[in-house]
Structure 1
């Protein structure tokens, strides 16, 4: 099942999520996703299961040295693949405000090497996990370099919205007129088959020394967004129906919590007294709502206590809703199999920024929080669909 395949250790997630793309901006997004997952691998794994010892690395002498960013002027965003030959576009209103994310240079190569050593038995740094501060020190821009980018942005009319604690990106907003002027591009709107979107025209570049400190700019188009569909007709099920008739629980008793636990041999852990005590499980959800009443009804039918779920806003605020996607199923299955674990639901509203950037933001937030031992990332479709 997709749900159980996705609930894996963070470093395994890192291995699964690497996707090679040709265009510059898309390649950076996949690298950023890998970066977020590697950071999770460094941080999250440090919180071990009961009986497993782990330590925090205080000796970084054997880690890869941090290089000085190379000076080069490069294109910081490319048109997404698949657009084909477009009709004439309509210029966006000059006073329209757009959010952008300036992704900062990171020493990805050094991080990958160090992660490999951290997970290699016999290595001098085996299981010597890094703290967020150590990650920033080893792989991120210095505070002074990040300030250079911030100063350039404010001097050129951008408003700073946020800078993440791992020094991976700076979120800003500015008018279309200002974006076009500073990046030397045009932003045009298009409508094809009833779908309206905007794209950049031209190759955005930044001057030195900022060019060597910024790897990409996200938000210059909204051409491609994944469309999620309820996998099993969730729309036909409501909290009222489920709570009043447990005969329909677990696909009419064919896939109950106990049967799942037995199939995946989790029930053996129950016999040893393990039901998720002391564990914190993270769940990544992107614009997919859930109804707390559904969770309560599921718990009643499964014979467990009400799940301990805490929502964490990452990009925007996601209010509770009908739960017609995978969010409800994710939370129910996790709560059912680990009923005494705490669940942190990292949410994005699906509107504040691009989907790919939301993924990066969630992974970075999980790494910065340093609270979960397992992160569930269940997309509902294959990776290349993004």
Structure 2
């Protein structure tokens, strides 16, 4: 008999109380300038946590606070034009990056802007402690009463019951005098709510360390991704590690000794006085993971570990310092927070420094998160919110997703998506112009861009602090994927320098250009199996693995040919505009292109063509569409020097004269007959007990839930009429007694044996969620849809399925 269903709970750490006794006179006694008509509100300066937390009292008037006042960039249209040109092959600016002084002179706040802000803050009684070298951040401190006066918003203590956490925050948007509104973009430090978390999922405090390595070492991941064939070791390249904790140099040395690695000593760069190395905290394993993976990929690269306070102000100041120092050509970021829980004004301030990084030729690789498409799962917004992780969502970062890598010795074998790899759609940033290609949709920025191994089941051997002493741990998470790509960028930058070419710089425009070219299949491993909660993998780009994982040597060659030389050929493909067709009606469309070099022959290729169509090497698309569809077609032209150009357009194919009668094809779709037929199921699956409610009606398919090793399956075969669009959907409820973020029990959904998605105990949530998949590719065929649930030997997980449908139209 199946056990009673259990609600999934998560143990949440109680963070230190950051406000003093609430019995002291509060800052609300200070006069508020809010009512003045001469003040302007600064949007997005209130943490979203205020909306779902209980206000306790105003902060004590004398409590000291520190704030970061962010100043606006100037000439933003010209800056956007420069950033596009500096990463676009064939432009005069291509590869000609700016120095920090040049950037500040052209686009940064002026000295007069800084002086105006300093004068205002001082007049409110605040002490200005520092101004960032790029003039984008003015740091100041004072009492809560002075902060209230300066920014016209009450500072209060709040209690977040869900996280059992007390924090302080401003009750309403910060305001500034109207004369500062054109200068100031935001104020951070008014709340201490947002805390960046690591993106690895190992638990060194509960897992006993090993005496010898277990998991992938450098020879395996370097060999699998051909990193060892790039021909460089990172010599002369500096990489910044973006950290909110510290490390033990002895642990890093042990890793080096184990694998015979030698390179420059790792150096700490303190931000705002932070230096954790004498007593690292819970994030020590993250810092050491980042360093050891970069060392394993690019052993001779110099690593600078930037350590900052874990706060909005700390993150803003770290970003500004890295770009102002201008010591590195690569930044590796494995910390983040979900967008809905992060103050938008703080994200904007950090992103402005990321713009400067792009202008200076600095590549940034950020972990996409370890909670799938529900990045707020372990934070207040919760698992029901589709969300992505910042900073990976910044258009100037390359977001790195996660896979499960299988190797044969030290060679690549196969790869699938990691089921909890971060990915989805940003609500903060619009889709940049370079984000195009098969699978790229919508108007907002999507992540990730690329991926590499991250599943803890195929984890990395890392030497770090265990529960009582240092030892070997197996780490997973996109925290391992981001430094792997950062190490790759270091290898590439060394190779580019030897060839007299520019550093990689902002990577995404070049990576997307290659992914949309004929070189895609030889430069990336396209991962096409697996999913996260809301997005399946696809051919080409997807919101689980991006464009896939690197074939490092071939990718470096393609980048050198198309992404690292300030001069070269420019190939342009003429966009034919939106195309329409009908099933059964022949198509003939000639594409054309031009080349800046004379005597070149262009060879054409295409991705995303409707079924039944193909393109010739001369650019002519012909054939007869065989199924209704709407999608993005990308046509790429390549010349004899391997210079490429591409264009994308929408192609819609309708059902045509043969038509398609709308219908729902599945029999007994809601299981309400009380028996399985025409489904084929294992025993006891169709059920009407009260232990697990149906989505509607009384009956449903209840798979697994025994708390012992067990496999259940549900399948049905139907025929999809030719020329029809087909959509398969169902409602799913996952209930589990498992805890943590390891997938122990799994439900795989397939169509004719091809995986559409995988769910697990990690996806447990209250209530049903509808899932939907496009099966139009099976038009004119029989298709078997199947659910297969596998439960391990302990702790139940129930997969409840109801109200299925396979609709054609």
With normalisation by structure 2, the TM-score equals 0.35
For residues 185-214 of structure 1, what are the alpha-carbon distances to aligned partners after superposition, in whole Å with 9 as ceiling and x for unaligned? 211112233310112123321113222211
Equivalents in 2 of 1:279, 1:202: separation in Å?
Answer: 45
Partner residue of 2:239 out of 270, 281, 284: 281
Please identify, of 153-162 and 306-315, the stretch whose mean Cα deviation from structure 2 is larger: 306-315
Equivalents in 1 of 2:201, 2:242: separation in Å?
Answer: 17
- Give the equivalent residue in structure 2 for 1:223: 193
**1:313 lines up with 2:270 in the alignment:** yes
**Helix, strand or coil at the partner of 1:90:** strand
Contact 2:62 / 2:144 at 8 angstroms: preserved in 1?
Answer: yes
Contact 1:307 / 1:335 at 8 angstroms: preserved in 2?
Answer: no
**1:290 lines up with 2:247 in the alignment:** yes
Contact 2:130 / 2:138 at 8 angstroms: preserved in 1?
Answer: yes
- Give the equivalent residue in structure 1 for 2:314: 358
Unaligned runs of 5+ in 2: 1-37, 336-366, 370-374, 376-386, 391-809
**Helix, strand or coil at the partner of 1:376:** strand
Contact 2:65 / 2:143 at 8 angstroms: preserved in 1?
Answer: yes
1:259 CA drift (Å):
1.3
**Helix, strand or coil at the partner of 1:79:** coil
Partner residue of 2:133 out of 153, 156, 165: 165
Partner residue of 1:368 out of 295, 308, 324: 324
- Give the equivalent residue in structure 1 for 2:229: 268
- Give the equivalent residue in structure 1 for 2:640: none
1:90 CA drift (Å):
0.8
Equivalents in 1 of 2:43, 2:51: separation in Å?
Answer: 21
Structure 1 vs Structure 2 CA RMSD? 2.5
Partner residue of 1:205 out of 169, 172, 175: 175
Contact 1:104 / 1:141 at 8 angstroms: preserved in 2?
Answer: yes
1:358 CA drift (Å):
2.9
For residues 134-176 of structure 1, what are the alpha-carbon distances to aligned partners after superposition, in whole Å with 9 as ceiling and x for unaligned? 1111112221222111111112211011101111110000111
- Give the equivalent residue in structure 2 for 1:45: none
**1:94 lines up with 2:54 in the alignment:** no
- Give the equivalent residue in structure 2 for 1:119: 87
Change (3 A) 1:363 1:87: closer
Q: Which has the higher contact order (CA 8 A, sep 6+)?
A: 1
Equivalents in 2 of 1:258, 1:88: separation in Å?
Answer: 54
Equivalents in 2 of 1:285, 1:94: separation in Å?
Answer: 33
Equivalents in 2 of 1:363, 1:227: separation in Å?
Answer: 17
Change (3 A) 1:202 1:84: closer
Equivalents in 1 of 2:190, 2:77: separation in Å?
Answer: 27
- Give the equivalent residue in structure 2 for 1:328: 288
For residues 9-38 of structure 1, what are the alpha-carbon distances to aligned partners after superposition, in whole Å with 9 as ceiling and x for unaligned? xxxxxxxxxxxxxxxxxxxxxxxxxxxxxx
Contact 1:102 / 1:171 at 8 angstroms: preserved in 2?
Answer: yes
Equivalents in 1 of 2:73, 2:262: separation in Å?
Answer: 44
Change (3 A) 1:341 1:86: closer
Larger Rg: 2
More strand by share: 2
- Give the equivalent residue in structure 2 for 1:103: 70
Change (3 A) 1:222 1:304: same
**1:348 lines up with 2:308 in the alignment:** yes
**Helix, strand or coil at the partner of 1:100:** strand
Partner residue of 1:177 out of 123, 140, 145: 145
- Give the equivalent residue in structure 1 for 2:297: 337
1:72 CA drift (Å):
8.8
For residues 220-256 of structure 1, what are the alpha-carbon distances to aligned partners after superposition, in whole Å with 9 as ceiling and x for unaligned? 1223324447522333679xx66xx4xx22xx2x411
Please identify, of 111-120 and 219-228, the stretch whose mean Cα deviation from structure 2 is larger: 219-228
**Helix, strand or coil at the partner of 2:255:** helix
With normalisation by structure 1, the TM-score equals 0.71
Equivalents in 1 of 2:327, 2:54: separation in Å?
Answer: 49
Which residues in structure 2 correspond to 1:33-44 (within 5 Å)?
Answer: none
Contact 1:295 / 1:306 at 8 angstroms: preserved in 2?
Answer: no
Equivalents in 2 of 1:329, 1:179: separation in Å?
Answer: 39
Contact 1:231 / 1:326 at 8 angstroms: preserved in 2?
Answer: no
Contact 1:157 / 1:174 at 8 angstroms: preserved in 2?
Answer: yes
**1:301 lines up with 2:258 in the alignment:** yes
More helix by share: 1
